[in-house]
Amino acid sequence: MSKALFVIDVQNDFCEGGALACQGGAQVAANITTYLKSSKSDYDFVIASRDWHTPNSLNGGHFPTQGNEPDFVSTWPLHCIAGEPGADYHPNLDASLIDIHIKKGQGQHGYSIFDGVTDSGEKLQELIQRLGITDVDVVGIATDYCVRASALDANNSGLQVRVITSLTAGVSATSTEAAIDELVDAGVRVAATA
C-alpha cells in the first residue's frame, strides 16, 4: 500500500500568459512547490502529468480544423505542443520534486492522467498496480477539466482519492463549483487544504 500525489498539467500554457490560461495558475504552481517542500515525505511517489500534443496534428479532433474556431467544449486553441515552451512545466513548479512524469494527449484528447504514459510507454494503470498505489491526492490545473477527469478516473479505479482545492486553479467559478459537486457525489474527498 502506497500513497501518491498526482500533479496535473502545471504547464506554461495553462498559466497566465499561456494559450489556455487559468487565473491563478502561476500561484498554484508556486503553492504546489511549497507544499511538496514541506510534505513530500507524506507521499511514496509524486506523479505529474503534462498535455503533450503531437505537432502538426489535430490530435484526434482536440484542435479545430483549419479555418474553424475552437468551441471550448471539445475543440481547443493550440496548446501544449510537444517540445514547445507552452508544454513545459511552469517555472514556479520545482520539477526536481517530481518522481514520475506522464505525458498525455499524444494524438488524442487526453484530459485525465489515466490517458497518459510514462516515457517508457507504461500506462498509468499498470504503474499504479506495479507500485501498489492505493491512495492519491490530486492537485493542479484545471480543477474543472483535467483535475476533475483525473480524480474521477482514480476513483473509478478503486483508489482512495482526495482533491486539495487550494492547490488547484479552475477555468471559471461556475464550472469549478459544478466539478467539485460532481466529485463529491462520486465519493471523492474534497478538502480545501491538506
Catalytically annotated residue among 104, 115, 137, 144: 104
Architecture of domain 2-191: 3-Layer(aba) Sandwich (3.40)
**Triad 139, 140, 145: Cα angle to 5°:** 105
Q: Among candidates 33, 41, 50, which has minimal Cα distance to 97? A: 33
Is residue 9 annotated as a catalytic residue, yes or no? yes
Cβ(167)–Cβ(32) below 8 Å? yes
Going from N- to C-terminal start, the domains of the chain cover 2-191
- How far apart are the two ends of the chain, measured CA to CA in Å? 20
In this prediction, residue 73 carries a pLDDT of: 83
Q: Quick check: is 104 catalytic? A: yes
Low-confidence ranges of the chain (pLDDT < 70): none
40 annotated active-site: no
The pLDDT of residue 72 = 87
Alpha-carbon distance of 160 to 26, in angstroms, equals: 28
Best CA proximity match to 11, nearest among 37, 59, 56, 49: 49
Q: Tens digit of pLDDT for each residue in 81-126?
A: 999 999 999 999 999 999 999 999 988 888 999 999 999 999 999 9
pLDDT of residue 171: 94
Q: From the candidates 9, 51, 137, 153, give the one annotated as an active-site residue.
A: 9
Angle between helices 173-186 and 148-156 (to 10 degrees): 10
pTM tops 0.75, yes or no:
yes
The CA distance from 194 to 95, in Å, is 20
Query: Residue 191's pLDDT is what?
Result: 97
> Which listed residue (15, 22, 80, 146) is catalytic?
146
The pLDDT value given to residue 140 = 98
Q: Closest by alpha carbon to 149, among 117, 182, 111?
A: 111
Neighbours of 38 (CB within 10 A): 10
